[in-house]
Amino acid sequence: MTDPDFKDVERLEALFADVRDAEAPTLSSDLTARLLADAQSAQSTPQNRQERARWRTWIGEIGGWPSVGGLVTAGIAGLWIGIAPSAMAEDLWASLTGESYEVAILSDWDVFEVETDG
């Protein structure tokens, strides 16, 4: 983009000043009434506030949102390891106990019912 002409810059500055100094519309009584009606409809009920306060207290007690994030991470990681354990985890278990386990969570579960009787 080429540098704008000095006159063009001056014109833009004048335009900014005009719009900045222009009289802004005032808040009409109709708009005020709509805003207050919105405020009333959006205000939460005492029950909602109690519920929210209970959650906030619980989250605070376990250490705040970072702890919730940690819990979720640990949960998902645990679930993932349970579904698809790495060979290393199986080998470690076998070397500690001398036994090896195989847990099949889904093998007997015919999710899409593709097996037909007989």
Q: Which stretches of the chain bind other proteins, using CB under 8 A?
A: 1-5, 8-12, 14-16, 18-20, 22, 24-28, 31-32, 34-36, 38-40, 42-44, 46, 49, 52, 65-66, 68-70, 72-73, 76-77, 80
Least Å distance, CB 45 to other proteins, is 8
Least Å distance, CB 81 to other proteins, is 10
Q: Which is nearer to other proteins, 9 or 94 (CB)?
A: 9
Cα distance between residue 36 and residue 42, in whole Å: 10
Q: Is 26 left (phi over 0), alpha (psi -120 to 50) or beta?
A: beta
C-alpha of 13 from chain center: 42
Q: Burial, 93: exposed, middle or buried (Cβ in 10 Å; 0-12, 13-18, 19+)?
A: middle
Q: Which is nearer to other proteins, 31 or 94 (CB)?
A: 31
